[in-house]
């Protein structure tokens, strides 16, 4: 036996993943995307890495068993794994998992608490041999009222109020004893909402250890942290050409010259498309719509923008805001700015107040008289609702 390992407690993890997600609008919170991985896998990976865990038992809904097994394979779970069917209530779910297996210590965890760490798990399990039943909890920060029928009944002393988390860790023998005693104490008691409650009903002690305010349970979409943000920039210049229309952000602007180009030469939309593609590292418009392609000859750049938006949306992103600067000494663009913004808002399907189009001159230097340039910056945000791991 290795030195230092002698007194290390070993445990089986039981991950409760059979909830109905009724507060997530029917969408299964356990499979919602969190930083590029499904919520449930964050928990499973923490137990995979925790030194004190020997095996992982996941109690899932019948229709997600195969999916969870597949995910565990994809994420390289190496510890002995059992994915079994959970039940309607928490208590029954844990009971199902226990029937599947039993070890000296069990650590029962909510599958919807993805922010636990292996160190946190090991610390609580380390306390179990001595304490028998240990749960992590944090002090309530706000005032809590007891309310009945829309009226305040009382205000409990805040110093005694704690928010309870998981993993809740028990000596398996003690857990079985608690289940038995709790049943004897009241056969008609309502189901427990956490496992420690069984010990309370049985009149057995439960010890509290310091929890982590970050160890939240995902119950509604708002609990999912801010989605990923990506920034992109684009720049383009086209020179003036006779007998061409001048199109900027889809608006036709009366001028004696237009811009030279394979498409309608809408330089502002070209810069914007490069910014959108750049934000997701998808290359540039030359790659997606080569100017050798006859199908793009004279095409409206607004049409190309709509196609770029399809790509962006398919990747699960949507623009948060867009800022375009058009560099032109002539013509004057002030009267067309609103129309340009409306065109972009419509194509990108975001509100007008998130689209900025500005015009500037180069004081007779640089491009002056020769053409028009444009600069675009966009911020893309990940749209959680559009991405579910299947
Ligand atoms: Mg161009």
In the predicted model, is pLDDT for residue 108 greater than 80? yes
Backbone phi and psi for residue 321, each to the nearest 5 degrees, phi listed first:
-155, 160
Start-to-end Cα distance in the chain? 43
| Higher per-residue confidence, 271 vs 9 | 271
Q: How close is the Cα of 267 to the center of ligand 1, in Å?
A: 5
Q: How close is the Cα of 274 to the center of ligand 1, in Å?
A: 9
Q: How close is the Cα of 204 to the center of ligand 1, in Å?
A: 74
Q: How close is the Cα of 283 to the center of ligand 1, in Å?
A: 14
| Higher per-residue confidence, 10 vs 238 | 238
CA distance 185 to 181: 6
Mean pLDDT of the chain: 89
Q: How close is the Cα of 237 to the center of ligand 1, in Å?
A: 6
pLDDT-based confidence at residue 85 (cuts at 50, 70, 90): confident
- 241 alpha carbon, distance to own chain's centre: 48
- 331 alpha carbon, distance to own chain's centre: 46
Query: 101 and 12 in contact (C-beta within 8 Å)?
Result: yes
Q: How close is the Cα of 308 to the center of ligand 1, in Å?
A: 15
Ordered DSSP codes for 286-299:
HHHS-TT-GGGTT-
Per-residue pLDDT, averaged over 377-382, amounts to: 93
pLDDT-based confidence at residue 373 (cuts at 50, 70, 90): very high
Query: 355 and 345 in contact (C-beta within 8 Å)?
Result: yes
Output the pLDDT for position 18.
Answer: 82
Alpha-carbon torsion, ordered 31, 35, 36, 37, to 10 deg? -40
Q: H-helix or E-strand containing 162?
A: strand 162-164
pLDDT tens figures, 126-177: 999 999 999 999 999 999 999 999 999 999 999 999 999 999 999 988 998 9
pLDDT-based confidence at residue 86 (cuts at 50, 70, 90): confident
Q: How close is the Cα of 302 to the center of ligand 1, in Å?
A: 13
Query: 181 and 201 in contact (C-beta within 8 Å)?
Result: yes
pLDDT-based confidence at residue 5 (cuts at 50, 70, 90): very low
CA distance 20 to 18: 7
Q: How close is the Cα of 355 to the center of ligand 1, in Å?
A: 20
In the predicted model, is pLDDT for residue 334 greater than 60? yes
DSSP lists the bridge partners of residue 169 as 107, 134
pLDDT tens figures, 319-333: 999 999 999 999 999
Share of the chain above pLDDT 70, in %: 90
- Comparing 19-23, 131-135, 213-217, 344-348, the range with the smallest average pLDDT is 19-23
Q: Which of 102, 101, 38, 47 is nearest to 78 (CA)?
A: 47
| Higher per-residue confidence, 10 vs 338 | 338
Alpha-carbon torsion, ordered 147, 151, 153, 154, to 10 deg? 70
Which residues, including other chains, have CB under 8 Å from residue 84's CB and lie 6 or more apart? 57, 58, 59, 60, 65, 96, 97, 100
In the predicted model, is pLDDT for residue 26 greater than 50? no
Q: How close is the Cα of 280 to the center of ligand 1, in Å?
A: 19
pLDDT-based confidence at residue 225 (cuts at 50, 70, 90): low
In the predicted model, is pLDDT for residue 385 greater than 60? no
Q: Which of 2, 18, 39, 100 is nearest to 389 (CA)?
A: 39
Pure H helices in the chain: 39-49, 65-74, 90-100, 118-131, 172-185, 196-201, 267-279, 285-288, 301-314, 337-348
Output the pLDDT for position 7.
Answer: 53
CA distance 316 to 280: 10
Output the pLDDT for position 100.
Answer: 56
Query: 104 and 53 in contact (C-beta within 8 Å)?
Result: no
pLDDT-based confidence at residue 23 (cuts at 50, 70, 90): very low
């Amino acid at each position: 036996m290795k030195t230092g390992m002698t007194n290390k407690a070993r445990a089986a993890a039981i991950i409760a993943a059979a909830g109905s997600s009724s507060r997530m609008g029917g969408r299964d919170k356990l499979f919602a995307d969190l930083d590029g991985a499904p919520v449930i896998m964050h928990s499973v990976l923490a137990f995979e890495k925790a030194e004190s865990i020997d095996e992982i038992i996941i109690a899932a809904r019948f229709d997600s068993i195969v999916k969870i097994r597949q995910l565990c394979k994809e994420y390289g779970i190496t510890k002995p794994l059992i994915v079994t069917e959970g039940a309607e209530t928490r208590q029954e779910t844990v009971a199902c998992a226990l029937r599947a297996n039993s070890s000296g210590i069990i650590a029962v965890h909510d599958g919807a608490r993805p922010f636990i760490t292996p160190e946190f798990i090991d610390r609580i399990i380390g306390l179990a041999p001595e304490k028998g039943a240990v749960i992590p909890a944090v002090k309530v920060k706000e005032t809590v009222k007891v309310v009945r029928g829309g009226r305040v009944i009382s205000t409990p002393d805040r110093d005694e109020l704690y928010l309870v988390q998981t993993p809740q860790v028990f000596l398996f023998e003690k857990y079985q004893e608690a289940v038995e005693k709790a049943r004897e104490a009241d056969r008609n008691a309502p189901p427990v909402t956490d496992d420690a409650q069984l010990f309370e009903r049985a009149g057995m002690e439960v010890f509290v250890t310091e929890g982590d305010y970050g160890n939240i349970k995902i119950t509604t979409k708002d609990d999912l942290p801010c989605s990923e943000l990506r920034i992109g920039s684009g720049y383009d210049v086209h020179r003036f050409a006779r007998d061409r229309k001048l199109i900027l952000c889809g608006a036709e602007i009366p001028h004696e010259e237009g811009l030279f180009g394979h498409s309608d030469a809408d330089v502002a939309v070209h810069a914007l498309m490069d910014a959108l593609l750049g934000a997701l590292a998808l290359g540039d418009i030359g790659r997606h719509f080569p100017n050798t392609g006859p199908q793009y000859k004279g095409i409206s750049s607004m049409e190309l923008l709509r196609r770029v938006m399809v790509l962006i949306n398919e990747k699960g992103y949507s623009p948060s805001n867009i800022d375009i600067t058009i560099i032109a000494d002539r013509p004057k663009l002030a009267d067309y700015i609103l129309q340009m913004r409306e065109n972009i808002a419509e194509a990108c399907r975001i509100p007008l107040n998130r689209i900025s189009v500005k015009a500037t001159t180069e004081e007779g230097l640089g491009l002056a008289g020769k053409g028009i340039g444009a600069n675009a910056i966009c911020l893309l945000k990940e749209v959680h609702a559009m991405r579910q791991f299947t």
